[in-house]
């Protein structure tokens, strides 16, 4: 059965977020904003990958065209099969349709190559984000 990428409610992503990212099953700021998009990729009815985009500039910026990618996660046994790419592509399409100019994220060290392969540039200076570990700022134009 082919992968199905569809819009989901923000609460639908909590179990996968907790499993893959170790994040608590609780709302993030902006989860329920009208322009926020949450997508899920399903295989045989099982949610295997998620991604969300928020109309939010990066720290120390006022760029109204910037959108934040957050909560990107794919189940370990589903990684490397294009499901994360599918979810991210849907988010990029949403940002583009919303007149966004760029998308950014704070990527885990192990995910930087994934983002680079999809056109993101990664800044060399890493940050230690309390409760989340080392993160790299990545961005790409849409």
H-state helical runs in 1-142: 14-21, 83-97, 112-117
User: What does the mean pLDDT of the chain come to?
Assistant: 92
Q: Distance between CA atoms of 4 and 123, rounded to whole angstroms? A: 32
Confidence of residue 86 (pLDDT cuts 50, 70, 90): very high
Alpha-carbon torsion (128, 51, 46, 113), positive or negative: negative
How many degrees, rounded to 5, is the angle at CA 21 between CA 68 and CA 51?
40
pLDDT classification of 1: cutoffs 50, 70, 90: low
Per-residue confidence (pLDDT) for residue 95, from 0 to 100: 98
Which residues lie across from 141 on neighbouring strands?
102
More confident residue, 14 or 74: 74
Task: Show me where the domains of the chain are located.
Answer: 4-141
- Third-level CATH fold of 4-141: Aminopeptidase (3.40.630)
pTM exceeding 0.75: yes
How many whole angstroms separate alpha carbon 117 and alpha carbon 80?
A: 12
Kindly state the percentage of the chain with pLDDT values over 70: 96
CA 52 to chain centre: 5
Tens digit of pLDDT for each residue in 36-82?
A: 999 999 999 999 999 999 999 998 888 999 999 998 999 999 999 99
Sign of the alpha-carbon dihedral angle for 98, 103, 105, 110:
positive
């Amino acid at each position: 059965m082919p992968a199905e990428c569809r819009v989901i409610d923000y609460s639908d992503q909590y179990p996968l977020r907790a499993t893959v990212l170790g994040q608590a099953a609780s709302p993030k700021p902006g989860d329920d904003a009208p322009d926020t998009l949450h997508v899920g990729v399903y295989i045989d009815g099982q949610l295997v990958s998620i991604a969300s985009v928020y109309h939010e500039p990066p720290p120390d910026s006022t760029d109204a065209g910037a959108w934040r990618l957050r909560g990107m996660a794919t189940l370990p046994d589903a990684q490397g099969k294009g499901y994360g790419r599918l979810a991210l592509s849907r988010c990029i399409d949403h940002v583009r349709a919303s007149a966004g100019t760029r998308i950014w994220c704070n990527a885990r060290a192990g995910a930087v190559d994934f983002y680079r392969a999809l056109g993101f540039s990664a800044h060399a200076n890493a940050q230690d984000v309390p409760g989340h570990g080392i993160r790299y700022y990545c961005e790409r134009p849409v």
